[in-house]
């Protein structure tokens, strides 16, 4: 196979075979294909796209470029949940134990945050003593013991994706639907779960700003999963405002614990139950959504999922007593309430801007070398559609004592738009995409 021929055919909008795509990925991973040729190929894909068959072949080639995990001994009950990223998204800490309490096995490898979106691993590490790395043997033991394992991503899974993504990042080819979909799904396929439930975020705090864009991405990822033998369901969910009230590592863990106690925000609770209901449907195609939803909601109210998360956390090094109160972990932190500059109904948030404000306080990373402060962040006191006046605070800042945050306060005031009348708002669950 001559690489120039492959580039030329894709440039001209012609389809590539699975074998050609496999050889391309293998060659680039093993350094026999240079960056400049792979860059040309990626740009050709950016402009010409790929068929469903090509995207599935690309995903499979990247997924099998390194180690793959197999849970055959655990049956068909393994289901992974993936979110495309948003602000205040703490559902993993509710979904994993809730799904496990329903008999689903949840093998989850998660990453760290960068920019305005928070990382699952950073949030878990806000819990003192919590260990987020695991050997393969430890990972399997956690799955068998607790029905869940949430650990940091290993470098051995889908190494081709990591290398190709780094090249996309410097060649202006990140925003390509086939390349986005194959990147996400290659890691999910390599991670080995038999079912995959995707939470595709839509709105001002999401990568996909419109429902049409998000629907195309969701459809492509569902098609990939099904083509590669995974039962796959996607939800399009609203990220025009942060999920829940809190943005920040410890704050989000605390809100997730409240949700497991049955005392959490309505949107976090509803989305978590909806996601786990779809996970249950991945393991049993005969179950209806209504029955799955009813089963999951009952498990949440029983308290079993809360105990599952606490016992799992204890096994990873956390102190059980901590889960009764997190107050000691906010030592050295003060709160500052921010008031709107005029009265009115909240029409919209710049959710990405709110995420950036939390990052400026130290809750996220501006770059990979940034250090995170687990106890700082934001708590929304009002949400979309609420009425606010100049004597009613709309957001609370958690900051280190003595820290100047005037720039952050100015940014936050630019992130809220008010109107004279109550607005129409998108529903939390915008759409469901299946094969």
List, for residues 358-369, the tens digit of each pLDDT value. Answer: 999 999 887 777
pLDDT band at 113 (very low <50, low <70, confident <90, very high): low
- pLDDT of 112 over the 80 cut: no
Q: Does domain 3-49 have CATH number 3.40.50.1100?
A: no
User: For residue range 309-330, what is the model confidence (pLDDT) as tens digits?
Assistant: 999 999 999 999 999 999 999 9
CATH 3.90.1170.30 domain extents, the chain? 334-419
| Cβ-based neighbours of 256, under 8 Å, separated by 6 or more | 90, 91, 93, 94, 264, 268
User: CATH 1.20.970.10 occupies which residues in the chain?
Assistant: 3-49
Active site residues: 82, 161, 168, 183, 187
Contact of 413 with 252, CB cutoff 8 Å: no
Tell me how far apart the alpha carbons of residues 12 and 44 are, in angstroms, rounded to a whole number.
8
Domain boundaries 72-322, corresponding CATH code: 3.40.1030.10
pLDDT band at 414 (very low <50, low <70, confident <90, very high): very high
Assess contact for 121 and 284: CB atoms under 8 A: no
CB 223 within 8 A of CB 56: yes
* Helices and strands, number each (H, E), in the chain: 16, 13
CATH superfamily of 334-419: Pyrimidine nucleoside phosphorylase-like, C-terminal domain (3.90.1170.30)
Give 13-50 pLDDT, tens digit per residue. 999 999 999 999 999 999 999 999 999 999 999 999 99
**Residue 257 CB-density burial (10 A; 0-12 exposed, 13-18 middle, 19+ buried):** buried
Q: Which pLDDT score is estimated for 76?
A: 80
Where along the chain do the CATH 3.40.1030.10 domains lie?
72-322
pLDDT digits (tens, 9 = 90+) for 98-110: 999 999 999 998 8
What pLDDT is recorded for position 102?
98
- % of the chain surpassing 90 pLDDT: 85
pLDDT (0 to 100) of residue 367: 74
Q: Report which of residues 24 and 426 the model is more confident about.
A: 24
Contact predicate 132/125, CB 8 Å: yes
pLDDT at 115 over 60: no
Residue 280 has pLDDT above 60, yes or no: yes
The SS3 assignment for 173 reads coil
| Residue that the structure tokens 């809360």 belong to | 306
* Interval 176-218: pLDDT, tens: 999 999 999 999 999 999 999 999 999 999 888 999 999 999 9
Residue 229 pLDDT > 80, yes or no? yes
Residue 56 pLDDT greater than 70, yes or no: yes
Which pLDDT belongs to residue 183?
93
State the pTM of this model.
0.94
Instruction: Give the DSSP letter string of 344-385.
Output: EEEEEE-HHHHHHHHIIIIIS-SSTTPPP-TT-EEEES--TT
Among the residue ranges 194-208, 239-253, 367-381, the one predicted with the least confidence is 367-381
- Answer whether residue 114 shows pLDDT above 90: no
């Amino acid at each position: 196979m001559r690489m120039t021929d492959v580039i030329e055919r894709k440039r001209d909008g012609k389809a590539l075979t699975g074998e050609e795509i496999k050889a391309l990925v293998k060659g680039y991973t093993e350094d026999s294909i240079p960056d400049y040729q792979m860059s040309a190929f990626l740009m050709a894909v950016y402009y010409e796209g790929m068929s469903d068959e090509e995207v599935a072949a690309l995903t499979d080639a990247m997924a099998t470029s390194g180690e793959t995990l197999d849970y055959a001994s655990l049956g068909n009950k393994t289901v992974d949940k993936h979110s495309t990223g948003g602000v205040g998204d703490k559902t993993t800490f509710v979904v994993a134990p809730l799904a496990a309490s329903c008999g689903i096995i949840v093998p989850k490898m998660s990453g760290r945050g960068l920019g305005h979106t928070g990382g699952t691993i950073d949030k878990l590490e806000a819990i003192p003593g919590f260990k987020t790395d695991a050997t393969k043997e430890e990972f399997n033991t956690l799955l068998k013991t607790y029905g869940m394992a949430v650990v940091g991503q290993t470098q051995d899974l889908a190494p081709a994706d990591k290398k190709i993504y780094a090249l996309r990042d410097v060649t202006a080819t990140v925003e390509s639907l086939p390349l986005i979909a194959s990147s996400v799904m290659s890691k999910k396929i390599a991670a080995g779960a038999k079912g995959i439930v995707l939470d595709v975020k839509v709105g001002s705090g999401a990568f996909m700003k419109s429902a049409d864009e998000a629907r195309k991405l969701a459809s492509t990822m569902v098609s990939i999963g099904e083509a590669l033998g995974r039962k796959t369901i996607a939800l399009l969910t609203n990220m025009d405002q942060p999920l829940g009230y809190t943005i920040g590592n410890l704050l989000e863990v605390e809100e997730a614990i409240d949700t497991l106690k049955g005392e959490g925000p309505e949107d976090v609770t509803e989305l978590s139950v909806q996601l786990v209901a779809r996970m249950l449907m991945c393991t049993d195609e005969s179950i209806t959504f209504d029955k799955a939803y009813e089963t999951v909601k009952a498990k949440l109210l029983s308290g079993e999922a809360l105990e599952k998360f606490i016992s799992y956390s204890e096994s990873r090094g956390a102190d059980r007593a901590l889960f009764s109160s997190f107050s000691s972990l906010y030592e050295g932190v003060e709160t500052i309430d921010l008031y709107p500059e005029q009265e009115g109904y909240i029409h919209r948030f710049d959710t990405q801007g709110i995420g950036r404000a939390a990052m400026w306080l130290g809750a996220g990373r501006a770059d990979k070398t940034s250090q995170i402060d687990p106890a700082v962040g934001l708590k929304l006191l009002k949400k979309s559609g609420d009425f606010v006046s100049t004597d009613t605070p709309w957001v609370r800042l958690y900051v280190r004592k003595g820290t100047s945050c005037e720039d952050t306060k100015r940014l936050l005031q630019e992130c809220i738009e008010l109107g004279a009348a109550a607005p129409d708002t998108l529903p939390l669950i915008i759409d469901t995409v299946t094969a």
